[in-house]
Amino acid sequence: LSDVCDVPEQAEKPAPIDLDAAERAVSDLMKALGMDVGNAALAETPRRLAKAYAELLAQQDVAMTTFPNESRYDGLVVVNGIWFRSICEHHLLPFAGAVSVGYLPGDEIIGLSKLARIVANVAARPQVQERLTNQIADWIEHTVGARGVGVVVRATHSCMTLRGARAVGATTVTSVVRQRMRTEDRYYAEFVRLTDQSGHDR
């Protein structure tokens, strides 16, 4: 028995990508940056960049498969190391990293691969890391009736490492805990222990 739920985040689906318009805009940007768009070596660059952004922003629908928690499992479920990449909405430059997702099941459990799909879906839109973290937690909280939810995102932002502060190697960590993972010390402590990657970040 499985159950496919509609997810609130799907409602804010972005408008379709207009590749031709994006290509023209990239060409204009290159001209504005002093690049010679007539150069044969650069002829395909506007199309390539437009397609690269379209790929980064390609939304894949997630059918949220849940299963009855038949064994009455009452411990945490934690998945670490879910790799993602996204685009920061302030600079349209990539940021990338890994997510740890944990939840405390109620009457239902989530198909494990769906956790990775949720992360990919939420990351495939212009983002800030704080909202990305919240949206992953929202999704799990609302679709599976979890009794507790925790999300930790560790990411490197190219707008911070390659420009601006040029803080090479800096990692930004965001973390939200909800419900019993927030209110009960034992669940919070276990979540922290199971997601602790302090020795493995680099």
Q: Write out the catalytic residue numbers.
A: 88-91, 129, 157, 159
Cβ nearer to Zn ion, comparing 37 with 128: 128
Closest C-alpha among 165, 80, 67, 155 to residue 115: 80
Q: Are strands 3-5 and 64-68 parallel, antiparallel or unpaired?
A: antiparallel
**Does 88 interact with Zn ion (rule: CB under 5 A)?**
yes
Measured distance CA(187)–CA(163) in Å, rounded: 39
- For residue 91, the minimal CB distance to Zn ion (Å) is 4
Tell which positions 108-137 bind Zn ion, by CB under 5 A.
none
By CB under 5 A, is residue 163 in contact with Zn ion? no
CB of 172 to Zn ion, least distance (A): 11
Q: How far is the CB of 158 from Zn ion (least distance, A)?
A: 8
Rule CB under 5 A: choose which of 47, 51, 91, 182 binds Zn ion: 91
The gap between the terminal CA atoms of the chain, to the nearest Å, is 42
Q: Which residue, judged by CB position, is nearest to Zn ion in the bound state?
A: 159
Q: Pick between residue 116 and residue 162 the one whose CB is nearest to Zn ion.
A: 162
| 90 binding Zn ion? (CB under 5 A) | yes
Structure tokens at 183: 């209110």
At its nearest, how many Å lie between Zn ion and the CB of residue 131?
A: 13
Q: Total residues contacting Zn ion (rule CB under 5 A)?
A: 4
List the one residue out of 114, 118, 116, 97 whose CA is nearest residue 200. 97
Which residue, 89 or 201, is less far from Zn ion as judged by CB?
A: 89
Strand segments (E) across the chain:
3-5, 64-68, 77-88, 94-104, 108-110, 126-127, 148-157, 172-179
CA distance linking residue 19 with residue 138, whole number of Å: 31
Instruction: Please report how close the Cβ of residue 182 comes to Zn ion at its closest, in angstroms.
Output: 28
* Nearer CB in complex with Zn ion: 91/117: 91
Stretch in the footprint of Zn ion (CB under 5 A) among 43-51, 55-63, 151-159, 187-195: 151-159
Amino acid at 138: D
In the three-class reduction of DSSP (H, G, I as helix; E, B as strand; rest coil), residue 8 is classed as helix
What residue ranges bind Zn ion (CB under 5 A)?
88, 90-91, 159
